[in-house]
Chains A and B, each alone.
Chain A
Amino acid sequence: MSGKESFPAPGTFVLALIFLVVFIAVYFLNLKYLGSVWEVR
């Protein structure tokens, strides 16, 4: 069986990667915002 056949949902995999990128971006932006209002001296 080839590798392509063993992976039945490539479109969903791409959607999952998009989700991951958005997740990281939102987490980063929130921490950046927190850093701007809650300064560590």
Chain B
Amino acid sequence: MAEQGFRTCSVTGLKVHLPAERLIKANAVTAIIFIAIGGAAALLAALTRWPAVHLLGPEWFYRVLTAHGFDMLIVWIIFFEIAALYLGSAVLLSVRIAAPLVGWVAYILMLGGAVLVNIMVLAGKSDVLFTSYPPLMAHPLFYLGVILFAVGALIGVALFFATLYKARKEKTYTHQSFPLVTFGLFAAACIAVTTLLHGAGIYIPTLLWSLGIIHDIDPSAYRLVWWGLGHSSQQINVTAMISVWYLIGALSVGMKPINEKLCRTAFVLYILFIDVASEHHLLVDPVFGNAHKIWNTGYVMHLAVLASMIHALAVPAGIEVALRKQGYTKGLFEWFKMAPWGNPAFSATVWSIFIFGFLAGITGVVFGNEQINMTAHNTWRITGHFHATVVGGTTIAFMGVTYYILPLIFRRQIWALSLARIQPWLYGIGITMLSASMMLAGAYGIPRRHWDIANFGGSPFAFAWDPTVYIWLGVFGIAALLAVAGGIIYVAVSAGTLLWGKKVE
């Protein structure tokens, strides 16, 4: 007889705590709703930055860009990560989630915060973009919404730690340490604590400033602390994404890392050094000295880069070894040819590794170089880089793991599997083209945030771009449509699976 409050998964044999399962479902579904909202905003922003269309006026452009940044970089990803934390603790360790009620409090705070921010942005009271740099001032409820979201996420992370403690105390797992996926999520959660504390640390004074209680916010101090949230939140993503690579590798081909100790060490390198990567946003700031900038971005940051390179080689190597064991030993690449490409989770992971390594990783290191940053800063090269990282890396990986979460947690067969199979390809090709075209247009000086790059809003100072720029802007427009089509399929397959997918027992 099943233990009370648990069910046993017929595929993995794992004991699934039902209250944890409900929390995973709520957080995952909410994440997908917000990727749909953020994706709609992405389409509007892209159609405006594509000069051939130039859809929106300046007010609505900055409004949808603010919503797009917040919903995609923060809301979709962190809701999904909280779902992943509960999965990696309660489900993978077959333990009761420590305090389900606390999980619901965290969920309500996050949802309330996210909705509040979206309302304030779409009502036109917070056109401050994702970075909300002072002296731009938003409505106090915008800052309150961000704080509520950050506090909710922090509570969710605390619940993850408490569940790990419970599993350790009750010895619910057989390994000496947590499984690698859980260990990776633990690293992500450690980074999340510092990230969310930075968020609270900067948004509480900014809220007081918007209420008139504090009269000044120093823009430099704001930027320093804010990037402890803005960039570090992407480091949570990177760490969670890599945990997802290991999970999908294990589930799809039976992958085991060649050297697990090395992989664990790489996660520790993330905890210790990845936060300083935030400093590359400050490379052109006049306030900080060169020694400070170069120490952080020229030296320390590379220890985190080393960790990424270890993971980005450990995962394909693990997959290769697993597939060679299955008999695909001919030549150098038979294993690659014979890999399970029909499994959308697997193909999504390969796209994620490819884009994260070749586009995002290389450009991240290059643009983090102080001298090169002088030409890249505030151009579209940076936007191209982080779309490769966050969208091409994290979002595709999370889309991939959704194709396992739907049957294993929601207990539904994937609806429209043939559509699901092409989804990672469409999205991967779209994001690769989108990121590359942004970086190439940015190399000609196309600015990062301007609404009207062709005419600069009728500025009296005319500027003629090299005509090549318009080729890259055209490629960008087409790529954005491809990526949005891939995003629509992802949302449609997920929703269709919940509504019409056959039940799996």
> A residues touching B (Cβ–Cβ < 8 Å)?
8-12, 14-16, 19, 22-23, 26-27, 30-31, 33-34, 37-38
Contact = CB atoms under 8 A, between A and B. Distances in A.
A8 B321 contact: yes
Contacts, number: 52
Interface in B280-331: 312-313, 316-317, 320-321, 324
A2 B372 CA distance: 46
B472 to A, nearest CB: 15
B230 interface: no
Given A8-B321, A11-B320, A38-B375, A30 B258 contact: no
8 contacts: A9-B321, A9-B324, A11-B332, A11-B333, A12-B320, A22-B362, A23-B362, A38-B374
B375 A37 contact: yes
Which of A11, A26, A34, A37 counts the most B-chain CB atoms under 10 A from its CB? A11
Nearest to B321: A8
Nearest to B353: A15
Contacts of B313: 12, 16
Q: Which 7 A-B pairs have the closest CB atoms?
A: A9-B317, A12-B317, A9-B320, A11-B332, A12-B316, A8-B321, A30-B366
B332 A26 contact: no
Nearest to B324: A8
Nearest to A18: B358
Nearest to B318: A9
B477 interface: no
Interface of B: 258, 312-313, 316-317, 320-321, 324, 332-333, 335-336, 357-358, 362-363, 365-366, 369, 371-372, 374-375, 443
B332 A14 contact: yes
A8 B313 CA distance: 13
Contacts of A31: 371-372
Contacts of B371: 31, 34, 38
B336 A11 contact: yes
A18 B362 CA distance: 12
A22 B336 CA distance: 20
Contacts of A11: 320, 332-333, 335-336
Contacts of A26: 362-363, 366
Please report whether the interface of chain A is mostly helix, strand, loop or mixed according to DSSP: helix
A1 B179 CA distance: 30
Contacts of A38: 371, 374-375
Nearest to B320: A9
Contacts of B258: 8-9
Contacts of A10: 332
Contacts of A22: 358, 362
Nearest to B357: A19
Given A8-B321, A19-B357, A33 B375 contact: yes
Nearest to A16: B313
Nearest to B376: A30
Given A12-B317, A23-B365, 17 more contacts: A8-B317, A8-B324, A9-B321, A9-B324, A11-B332, A11-B335, A12-B313, A12-B316, A12-B320, A15-B316, A26-B363, A26-B366, A31-B372, A34-B371, A34-B372, A34-B375, A38-B375
A34 B358 CA distance: 21
Which of A8, A15, A23 counts the most B-chain CB atoms under 10 A from its CB? A15
B306 to A, nearest CB: 13
A37 to B, nearest CB: 6
Nearest to A31: B372
Contacts of A23: 362, 365
A31 B375 CA distance: 10
B358 A19 contact: yes
B123 to A, nearest CB: 42
A32 to B, nearest CB: 11
A23 B316 CA distance: 18
A37 B371 CA distance: 12
A31 B333 CA distance: 34
Contacts of B317: 8-9, 12
A16 B369 CA distance: 22
B316 A33 contact: no
Contacts of B357: 19
